[in-house]
Structure formats: structure tokens, C-alpha cells
Amino acid sequence: MFSRSGPAIRVSMTVLLLLLLTLAVGCPRQAAVPPADQPKQGGEVVIAVGASPTSLDPALQNDWNSFRVVNAMFDRLVQKDDKGNLVPSLATRWEVAPDGLTYTLHLRETTFHDGTKFDAHAVKFTFDRHLDPEVGSRYRAWMPEAGLRVEVVDDRTVRFHLQQIQATFLPIALAEWSSLAVSPTAVQTQGAAFAQSPVGTGPFKFKEYVHDSHLLLERNDQYWVGAPYLDTVRIRVIPEASTRVIEMEAGNVDILYDVLPRDAQRLEAAGFNVVRGASNRTEFISFNLSREIMSELALRRAIALAIDREGIIEHHWLGFAVKARAGAAPYSPYYDDTVPVIEYNVTEAKRILDEAGWRVGPDGIRQRDGRPLRLEMLATDRGHWMDMSLVVQDQLRQVGIDTHLVTLEWGTYLTSWVEGKFDLTFHGQGSFSSDTMDVGIGLDPDGYWNVHRLNLVETGPMLAIANQLRAMYDELGVTIDLARRKAIVSEIQKLSQDQQLAAYLWHPDGLFVLSPDLRDYRIVNQVVYLERAWLDR
């Protein structure tokens, strides 16, 4: 957790400011007035995001941008503190049976924004909705494969019954996005319209939503922690990163997510607060192994060797990233320095392609049996993803691989990626917490967000690899012993590198920029929380 009122990890970046002072635009903010001693009531905090949420219904969204938009309207059953410890939220306490198959949660007394009572029936409704295939919840894949039954013991007690042990059921299913409680009354009354006007128990409640423009939230005076100090929270959709920076400099935005290093330095020079923290995020090239061309191991290895990770980290990230060995970041308990790391080697990439029969043609593009080596590369203009897609495209061209960019808006991009409508794409995933999410990216073939689309493979050598991974994940899912879990995760990462199931690139730092007027916010796992925040202006 980082806050304006407490210490932050690696907050200062002043040692690098001189490198980019010439890029600064606008006038520095005036010297800050000494902060107030007591919180002030009222005001509006404005958050800028790069894309509209995929949905406002928690069951139908599963990307960081969407969750950051909706999180203030909802509460989880169990929360995590800044150290990853499980702490009470809508559940005040819980017990796990000795056999690990039964979880009993005791619930606090509160109400949803529409006045509906929050109770065990509402929790059962929320989870039964995830389990209903007709709903299409993205979190159905998080639930135990062998079945889950939710029992209402009484109004204030709910019990979850598993048919087999799921080692991460509590920290994932009960303490992450799938546990955001929704009002049964609102869902049943509104139907599909609930995705445009959601109802939760959180510190702020829905007021207005205009797609591709803004979402307006207002204070929940009945919030169980106590009414927030802020009157409203406005989330503005501003696709262009440069425009978001200009709007913050003008004083029209208070919080920026996923800020590029050059922009963070520029804003810090102008008097804004920059918070830097190690994230669980991994960025990589995702391969669609269900396509014949991408099932060729030599091609995947050549692509991985052709990317200059260190050069990109130095010039694009300005050092605010570390090279990835595999999916687990260096600060994860699952990081294993015996997992092979891919080094930039254009000569070796060319040799591998030559040996595989891909010869350079007159136009510089390789071909085999009269077929040019041209790949369909999915791209999106979200954040820095387009920049990175162009860099990858250029570096692959240097070894004779041509890529055709198919650029889509964020929501359509995600759908096309999940459906396997691509050969490769620059991609990024962030785990919820490194202590529970093992590899950190989706290598489980049956996971919704799997990075290789092995779930679409039905025959051939890729099916054997998919089944080998499935066996590893099956064991991981029922293994509680940390030493054995680490060993399994190491095997998964080594298999991924041996078969080049993805081309791992780097782990970028999380960079947030916040108004110096904003006090007592919390940052937990890459999300800013505002339930007790206030504005000193």
C-alpha cells in the first residue's frame, strides 16, 4: 500500500528528471500550501482511464481497466491488505474445515445501494450467477472444476462446499473480483441493463454512465465503514496517453493509472505525486498455438530471440522494468533463477529460420515452398501496447518475418484474442497477488485468459503439450504445501520456455501519478482505493 500520508516504495524519481526536463509542457504547479490536519468533506476526484470498461457488471468484466472503473461500487467478501494478508470485508470472519473442503463465512450487516439487504442469500445469488453457464460469467473458470455448492446457513452465515481441495479458493474465489457482491433485486429487475447501472455495497454508488465518455459515482452515505469524505468520483475515458497527461497538468484529473516513465517524470517535475511500485505484471508475445504456422517451434524460438529486451527496457521504460525470465517476477515466491532466460540474438534467430527452411526472399521476407513468412499480429491502441506492437513488428522484420497488424479497440481486441483470431500479439497480464497466482500469466490450457490458446487445439503435437500442462495444473490445484507448489510452478515455467509457449519480455514497474491535493488514499495491488480519501483544496 502506498499513500500520501505514509511511506511509499521508490516514490522519488528526481535522479532522472534532468534527462527529460526539455520535454516538460506547461507551468509547474504553485508551491503547496501546508496540508490540513483534518479531513475535509466534499469535492470530486477525477480518474482518467484509457478505455471504456468492457462491462460495469462484475460478472462480465475481467480486465484491470474495467475493475479499476467499477471497484469503488462494490466490496469483496474478503479483502487483502498491502502485504497480501487476508482481512475482513463483507465477511467479518471465516473458518476452513480441516479437510479443506468447507469454507464458512460470517457476514456483516449492511445494505446494497438500492436498499436490498446484504445477507447469505445475496452471496449465494452472486456465486450461483457465476456458475450459471447462461450468464457467461468470466469467473466461472475460477470455480472448482469438481463442483461448488453454496449453502445459506442463516442470514448472516454462508457456507461453500467443494468436492475436492482447491488450494487458492480463499485468496482467489473469495477475496478477488469474483467475490464482488451484487444486489439480487437489481439484477432480477434490470436484467441485461444491470451492466449499465450496477448496484453493489461499495463506498460510492452509480449515478451516470456515458460510454466512451465518463462514469459518475456519488457518495454512499450508508457505507458500513462510514460515509466517504468525497462527494463524487468521476472516471473519464481519455484514449490518448498524451491527452491524459495534458489534462492532469491542467488540473482536470487527479489520478492516472499505467503511466509511462517519461510522462511520470514530466508530471513529477510539475509537482504531482508519483508512486512507483513493483508489480506482478508480465509483458510478452502471445502465440496462438492452435494455428498451424505458430505450432512450429523453430519459428517461436526465432521470434523470442529477435526481440531486444534490454534495449527496449533502457530506451522505452527508462529502466523502470526488469527483464523477464518466465512468467514469475523476481519478487514472487515462485521465481526460479534456474528457469532459462532468452537473450537477444539475431544471428541465432536467423540460423534457426534458415535451418527450418525459411529462406530470405528478394524483398527481405523469408519464404518456404513459395509461401512468405507473414503473420497476422493482433494489436490495440490501448496505452503503450500499440508502440510495443510497432517495435516488435520492426524487430521481427530484421530477421525476415513480416507481420500484418490488425488494430482493434480494447474490448474487441480482448474478444478476438480469446477466440484465437490471431497468429501472435504483444500482450500483458498481471496476477492478483504473486503469493497465490503462481506463474503470474495464463499458462493453464483451460484458463479463460490462457496465453497460447491451447484450449482450441484438438489434435497434433500441441495437444500432448496441452495435456502435459493440464496434468501439472491439476496437481497444483490440490497442492497446499508451498515447497511442492514451487516445484510444480518451476516445472510449468521450464516447459513453457522449452516449448516457447510465449516469448517473455519484461516486468514493468507500476507507475501512478496523483494530485498532491489527494490525501489518505490507498493503493493495493495496482488499484487506488478512495473510501477514506479526501481533497485538501
* pLDDT tens per residue across span 383-408: 789 999 999 999 999 999 999 999 99
DSSP string, 317-335: STT-EEE-SSSS-TTSTT-
Residue located via cell numbers 498532491: 516
Are β-strands 374-380 and 424-430 bridged in parallel, bridged antiparallel, or unpaired?
Answer: parallel
Mean pLDDT of the chain: 88
Burial of 364 (0-12, 13-18, 19+ CB in 10 A): exposed
Contact of 115 with 122, CB cutoff 8 Å: no
pLDDT of residue 329: 85
Contact 284, 502 (CB under 8 A): yes
Residues 70, 391: Cα–Cα separation, whole Å: 32
**Separation in Å, CA 220 to CA 16, 178, 200, 236, 522:** 42, 22, 10, 20, 18
What integer is the mean pLDDT of 265-282?
Answer: 87
pLDDT at 18: 26
Cell numbers at 498, concatenated:
522449452
Q: Helix 461-477 crosses helix 482-498 at what angle (to 10 degrees)?
A: 170
Write out pLDDT tens, residues 21-80: 223 333 334 444 556 779 999 999 999 998 899 899 999 986 778 888 899 999 999 998
- pLDDT, one tens digit per residue, over 164-207 is 888 888 988 899 888 999 999 999 999 999 999 999 999 999 99
Say what the pLDDT of residue 24 is.
Answer: 32
Query: Would you state the pLDDT for residue 356?
Result: 98
What is the arithmetic mean of pLDDT over 318-346?
90
| Neighbour count for residue 280 (Cβ, 10 Å) | 23
Where does the pLDDT of residue 510 fall: very low under 50, low under 70, confident under 90, or very high at 90 and above? confident
Backbone Cα Rg of the chain: 24
With CA atoms as reference, report the closest residue to 394 among 316, 314, 306, 311: 306
Average pLDDT of span 455-459: 93
Could you tell me the end-to-end alpha-carbon distance of the chain, in angstroms, rounded to an integer? 24
The three cell numbers locating residue 223: 457505507
The structure's pTM equals 0.74
Q: Which cell is 81 given?
A: 491488505
What pairing do the DSSP bridges indicate for beta strands 273-277 and 502-508?
A: unpaired
Comparing 8-17, 124-133, 364-373, 379-388, the range with the smallest average pLDDT is 8-17
pLDDT given for residue 85 in this prediction: 83
Q: For 291-311, how does the pLDDT look when each residue is reduced to its tens digit (9 = 90+)?
A: 999 999 999 999 999 999 999
Say if CB 335 and CB 282 are below 8 A apart.
no
